[in-house]
Structure 1
Amino acid sequence: MIRGLFLVLCLTLAAGFAALGVWQVERLQWKEALIARVEARLTAAPVTPPTAGDWSPEAVYTRVAVSGVFEHDRETLVQAVTEQGPGWWVVTPLRTGGGIILINRGFVPDDRRRPDSRPGGQAPGPVSLTGLLRESEPRGGFLRSNAPEAGRWYSRDVEAIARARGLTEPVAPYFIDADATPNPGGFPIGGLTVVKFPNSHLIYALTWLGLCGLSLAGAWLVFRQGRRK
């Protein structure tokens, strides 16, 4: 009786591990296709940003080109940790012919947090820029929530920033990370977008399939001992 139950347990575990292994193989194929799509977008010619109705998170990391006028008086600083060290993202509304788009103009270190300490950083008049489409970040930072009333921002939450800055015109539901084109005075520093997708699905698949094999081996040993008796 006990041997039979153990045999059933081994076969059940083997089936479960096999299902998990197949699922990880499917995830591996999905992740590799995603990486290929994003890499193609990063090297493609820039296109016009989508309208609010055409926007989909599937379009993230698409290169876009846009023109307009910055509203520097409604700038928002969002905490950031980059290859340049800790500091701030400079998120500025860009007024375009189709509404407002929030632009992450780039990074400034802590000693250049105040607008008056960033000489030349605020370009007046019409501008044109190229960058990457990014999805809004409404969940705040790691273990920290945005506090708009206190002016503390840990993520680039488009809707919350637009509301806090009194942007009543239509605001795009995404933001744009500006590329590395130098800004006047050298700050903010653009082009620091990190495009990296963890891809450990092959290791996970081999692990689950290995456990499946061990479970089948255990079932075979139990079955063989039963036949001998």
Structure 2
Amino acid sequence: MKTTLFAFRFTRSTRLTSLRPALHTRICPKCKLSSPFQRRYAHTPADDPYFQSIVDNPAVLVKSGQKHGPGLIVLILIPAIAFGLGTWQVFRLQWKTDLIARFEDRILKPPLPLPPRIDPAAIKDFDYRRVVTIGLLRHDQEMLIGPRVHDGNDGYLVVTPLQREGIASKILVNRGWIPKRLKRQVDRLAGLPTGEVTVEGLLREPWKKNMFTPDNKPELGEFYFPDVEQMAKFTGSDPVWIEETMAPDLLKAYDREAVGIPIGRPAEVNLRNNHTQYIFTWYALSAATAIMFWMVVKKPLPDSIRRVRQNKEW
């Protein structure tokens, strides 16, 4: 029995071995493909009809190291620029604070009699300085600047040349605000004083026009902005601008508005100082965009890039 079993095993092994060459050459007549059993007993990769070399299927180069595009450069510039603007506003706040303190110190001083001759170049050193002068108001050369809003009402600023006492030259006086309904002089005769008057106000530096304000038309009597040089040339006055002041009094202001007497401005500094808000805005924008940049950099790689990096280990 042992001999017969040995012969049977030997015969089976011999049959399988003898079948291998035939299996490698036997192809399915329908699909023309070899069976999985053939590929299993293939001696070399070339014996497998599915084998593909690097020549048959060349590798494709894929950029796997570049995680972000040019937008990342823009994203890193935004927090840097915003931080720089916030720092610049810090210096602007210090400058504006010192400027307001200097002007308030000038206002606290007693009124200075206006000298006979005034150098326009020296007005900058006396901006917001309280001055007093005497003269005759030239209502025939009155100019209205507007529209201007006061307490929610439309109106105009009344600018009248002042012929100073004993001096041939004139200066420009911003007398204050009147309502729109009293634009004509005949409707506000109470606001047209005659004879010599004493004017007390602030000596101001010429205003600067912004890009949104239309140009004045002196020949038509239309003034939208106090262009001191232009208005002085139009009336034959010196380019000296004084803003008449009055004590803040609500009842007195109502009485003046009713009869057309110009409402003067209070003797105080009215410069805008919003630099603290600008500092907060720019620094907050810088912090927010910096966090966005960090989140983008730390974001996990897409699955495609991870697969490419893993395939490089083949």
Confirm or deny a common fold (TM above 0.5).
yes
Normalised-by-shorter TM-score class: 0.7 to 0.9
CA distance, structure 1, for counterparts of residue 171 and residue 290 of structure 2:
57
The range that moved more, 92-101 or 140-149, is 140-149
In structure 2, the residue matched to 1:153 is 223
The range that moved more, 23-32 or 206-215, is 206-215
Larger RCO (CA within 8 A; separation ≥ 6): 1
CA distance, structure 2, for counterparts of residue 75 and residue 38 of structure 1:
29
What is the total number of aligned residue pairs between the two structures?
222
The code of the aligned residue for 1:65 comes to V
Query: Match of 1:33, SS?
Result: helix
The range that moved more, 193-202 or 95-104, is 193-202
In structure 1, the residue matched to 2:244 is 178
Relative distance call for 1:192 and 1:125 in structure 2 (3 A) is same
Determine if the alignment matches structure 1 residue 188 to structure 2 residue 261.
Answer: yes
CA distance, structure 2, for counterparts of residue 148 and residue 71 of structure 1:
17
CA distance, structure 2, for counterparts of residue 21 and residue 213 of structure 1:
11
Question: Structure 2 length as normaliser, TM-score?
Answer: 0.57
**How big is the shift at 1:152?**
1.4
In structure 1, the residue matched to 2:140 is 73
Could you list the runs of 5+ residues in structure 2 that have no partner in the other structure?
1-64, 302-314
Specify which of 107, 123, 131 is matched with residue 193 of structure 2: 123
Relative distance call for 1:157 and 1:216 in structure 2 (3 A) is closer
Query: Match of 1:128, SS?
Result: strand
**How big is the shift at 1:146?**
1.4
Q: Which has the higher strand share?
A: 1
Determine if the alignment matches structure 1 residue 199 to structure 2 residue 273.
Answer: yes
Answer whether contact 1:82 1:192 (CA < 8 A) is retained: no
Identity among equivalent positions (%) equals 33
Answer whether contact 2:100 2:269 (CA < 8 A) is retained: no
Query: Match of 2:238, SS?
Result: strand
Relative distance call for 1:149 and 1:12 in structure 2 (3 A) is closer
The code of the aligned residue for 1:207 comes to T
Root mean square deviation of aligned Cα: 3.6
Specify which of 72, 79, 83 is matched with residue 151 of structure 2: 83
CA distance, structure 1, for counterparts of residue 291 and residue 208 of structure 2:
48
Q: Deviations over 1:181-229 (max 9, x none)?
A: 788x964223236853333322322333344445555666648989xxx
CA distance, structure 2, for counterparts of residue 78 and residue 217 of structure 1:
50
CA distance, structure 1, for counterparts of residue 179 and residue 285 of structure 2:
49
Q: Deviations over 1:66-92 (max 9, x none)?
A: 122222222222223222722222211
**How big is the shift at 1:28?**
1.4
Specify which of 84, 95, 107 is matched with residue 177 of structure 2: 107
Q: What aligned pairs does 1:157-168 form with structure 2 within 5 A after superposition?
A: 157-165=227-235, 167=236
**How big is the shift at 1:4?**
8.2
Determine if the alignment matches structure 1 residue 209 to structure 2 residue 283.
Answer: yes
Question: Structure 1 length as normaliser, TM-score?
Answer: 0.74
The code of the aligned residue for 2:270 comes to K
